[in-house]
Amino acid sequence: MPEPTPEEPYPAGGGPAAQDGAIAPTGMGGAMDLAASEGETLERPPGGPDGPDGPGPQDRPRSLWSDAWHDLRRNPVFLLSALVILFLVVISLWPSLIASGNPLKCDLARAQEGSRPGHPFGFDGQGCDVYTRTVYGARTSVTVGVLSTLGVALLGSVLGGLAGFFGGAGDSVLSRITDIFFAIPVVLGGLVLLSVITSNTVWPVIGFIVLLGWPQISRIARGSVITARQNDYVLAARALGASPSRLLLRHIAPNAVAPVIVVATIALGTYIALEATLSFLGVGLKPPSVSWGIDISGAAPYVRNAPHALLWPSGALAVTVLAFIMLGDAVRDALDPKLR
Amino acid sequence: MGRYVIRRLLQMVPVFIGATLLIFLMVNVMGDPIAGLCGDRECDPATAAQLRREFGLDKPVWQQYLTYMGNVFTGDFGTAFNGQPVTELMGTAFPVTIRLTVIALVFEVVVGIVLGVVTGLRRGRPVDTAVLVLTLVVISVPTFVTGLLLQLLLGVKWAWIRPSVSSDAPFGELILPGLVLASVSLAYVTRLTRTSIAENRRSDYVRTAIAKGLPRRRVITRHLLRNSLIPVVTFIGTDVGALMGGAIVTERIFNIHGVGYQLYQGILRQNTQTVVGFVTVLVLVFLVANLLVDLLYAVLDPRIRYA
């Protein structure tokens, strides 16, 4: 009997796709569940498989993507979050554009001082300039966020997509493996695995996020490939003798990738938060690396005397995560045919 | 029903084995547990070898895992390296974390569902937009930031509460930490309920219920809410495990001596048995919560039957 899923409460209605596409939002801690639940609405093929939906007054029917882009350009939420993200990317590539100081140059004599001319955010407990460190911290967050998302999306969609396409024993094994990963609390896994690693670069953190993050994308990709696979045009292509790789790459992938993109965008924000959390717990990046998580953790003990050292990096972190989640939200709205 | 439960229980077995094995391997990669015993100094090789033999660490990993699991099923979670049985640590830690989780769940269920119903019924109105923006903000601010800020504001600046929790951790002191722990999930529950309510509101059975003259309250609670709760229940069920595991951060901020604290200490001290023991229990809690959720579907929606 099909397991009831959030989107399909009635077992009778669920075909294999609806059934297996069920996403139990789990494991990865709260934040990633949003991605899963938001992505769920996209499990159905966007638009009808046959013919464009609502070409409107135009002569030439627009594809899903140009339609989505058309919507996005008019969405203030998208524009705002895209601007914030663009700004973050620029300052993480060239932080010296807006911060002339050195984030590691600290003067203990100025510890916990408030804001001064030239040092708008004041100084932290070690006498480092909070403004410079906040600007430089963007690089860590953006690097971890973007690279882990790429890794997770690549690994997850390849594994999930193949499992969904070929089915069979490999699929069952993969589903059980994802179950296992979902059962492990993510912060806990991070503490255990990263506490041994002494390397002080972003790579272990990225590797860890990819290791624990791929099952989420893999489930989405699998469900979405299973849905796309049953479309008539795929059957037609198969009947015409298309090879599996051609079916997968030319026919299924373009029609199954939308949910993956949405979930990955939202997940990007949550990975940034995860990196900060791990650094806060002392297992992510460690000083002398510059990361918002490290700064927040360092500022916590003397928060009574110098709250600004905690507030600025926290604010920057929150705005960054918010920007990515809003971007994902906007993309989902644009790609979701139900809202049209 | 009975057959379904048995099948689900059987399905849980591989997941349980896989998850515990994974953690067991991770902890073993974690480093030499003996090194953690001698403190900062290097261990005397003879002592180290003897300790290794004593704890069975000279055997291959799979054998250690089997021995360990064998012991777990007889109720022996091993000894922490300080000589205290791990079960004793659990006895003190779990009640605290369970209290914390219960508070968090109450917040999630009560506040989250109420907000979700209110906004779902008023989709597009100012209330809806305000709550929606608020949930986005709550989701975006990582828990440890929320926790530190609330601790700073309520505990230090305004002195409404004690900034850190005493070792007994009574319910009263856990309210704020519980809220912090619940915050992100609370936002999800609100959003999920809102979407679900807004979708079901246009359905035929709601129209029928209104048409036959039922009072609005009854339409909402008996017809609309009951049918909209399935995704929410799914989320809350899977969230129980995440809450208990995620309490590491909250417990650290508010200095609560619960599961998260013990785990954190266990990891810092490279105390394999503590870490694996606690994680094993957490995985079990997660699996059982998921099973309960699946069984709860049938209560919420009588059309769902388990054969």
- Tens-digit pLDDT profile for residues A285-308: 877 778 888 888 888 877 777 778
Range from A69-73, A201-205, A222-226, B217-221 carrying the lowest mean pLDDT: A69-73
Of A233, A232, A245, A187, nearest to A212 by C-alpha is: A187
pLDDT higher for A221 or B60?
A: A221
The interface predicted TM-score (ipTM) is 0.80
Residue of B nearest to A325 (CA): B140
Q: Per-residue pLDDT for B40 more than 80?
A: no
- CA A170 – CA A217 distance, rounded (Å): 17
For residue B123, give how far its alpha carbon lies from the nearest alpha carbon of chain A (Å): 13
- Mutation site for A-interface testing, chosen from B144, B227, B230, B291 by largest number of A Cβ within 10 Å: B144
Query: Which percentage of chain B shows pLDDT scores above 90?
Result: 7
3-state secondary structure labels for all residues of chain A: CCCCCCCCCCHHHCCHHHHHCCCCCCCCHHHHHHHHHHHHCCCCCCCCCCCCCCCCCCCCCCCHHHHHHHHHHCCHHHHHHHHHHHHHHHHHHCHHHCCCCCCCCECHHHCCCCCECCECCCECCCCEEHHHHHHHHHHHHHHHHHHHHHHHHHHHHHHHHHHHHHCHHHHHHHHHHHHHHHCCCHHHHHHHHHCCCCCCCCHHHHHHHHHHHHHHHHHHHHHHHHHHHCCHHHHHHHHCCCCHHHHHHHHHHHHHHHHHHHHHHHHHHHHHHHHHHHHHHCCCCCCCCCCHHHHHHHHCCCCCCCHHHHHHHHHHHHHHHHHHHHHHHHHHHHHCHHHC
pLDDT higher for B79 or A170?
A: A170
Q: A4 and B14 in contact by Cβ < 8 A?
A: no
pLDDT at B115: 92
pLDDT higher for B72 or A278?
A: A278
- CA B191 – CA B232 distance, rounded (Å): 9
Q: Quote the mean pLDDT of chain B.
A: 81
pLDDT at B106: 92
Window 123-182 of B, Cβ < 8 Å to A: 136-137, 139-145, 148-149, 152, 156
| Chain B contact for A307 (CB, 8 A cutoff) | yes
Give the tens place of pLDDT for each residue, A96-118. 777 777 777 777 776 667 677 66
Range from A273-277, B28-32, B295-299 carrying the lowest mean pLDDT: B28-32
Start-end of H helices in chain B: 2-29, 33-37, 45-54, 61-73, 86-106, 113-121, 126-140, 143-150, 175-200, 204-211, 216-218, 226-253, 259-268, 272-300
pLDDT higher for B299 or B15?
A: B15
Q: Are A209 and A274 in contact (CB under 8 A)?
A: yes
B281: amino acid identity, one letter: V
Nearest CB to B263: which of A188, A319, A325? A188
Q: In this structure, how many other beta carbons lie within 10 angstroms of the beta carbon of residue B304?
A: 20
pLDDT band at A78, cuts 50/70/90?
confident
Give the tens place of pLDDT for each residue, A196-249. 777 778 888 899 899 888 988 998 888 888 888 888 888 898 899 888 888 888
Residue of B nearest to A34 (CA): B188
Q: Per-residue pLDDT for A339 more than 60?
A: no
Beta bridge partner(s), residue A106: A128
pLDDT higher for B151 or A146?
A: A146
Q: Per-residue pLDDT for A1 more than 70?
A: no
| Chain A contact for B252 (CB, 8 A cutoff) | yes
Q: Quote the mean pLDDT of chain A.
A: 76
The mean pLDDT value for B228-234 works out to 84
pLDDT at A17: 37
Give the tens place of pLDDT for each residue, B125-149. 888 889 888 888 888 888 888 888 8
- CA A69 – CA B200 distance, rounded (Å): 29
* φ, ψ at A129 (rounded to 5°): -75, 120
pLDDT at B111: 93
Range from A75-84, A150-159, A176-185, B42-51 carrying the lowest mean pLDDT: B42-51
As given in the structure block, the two tokens for residue A328 are 């994902």
pLDDT at A13: 35
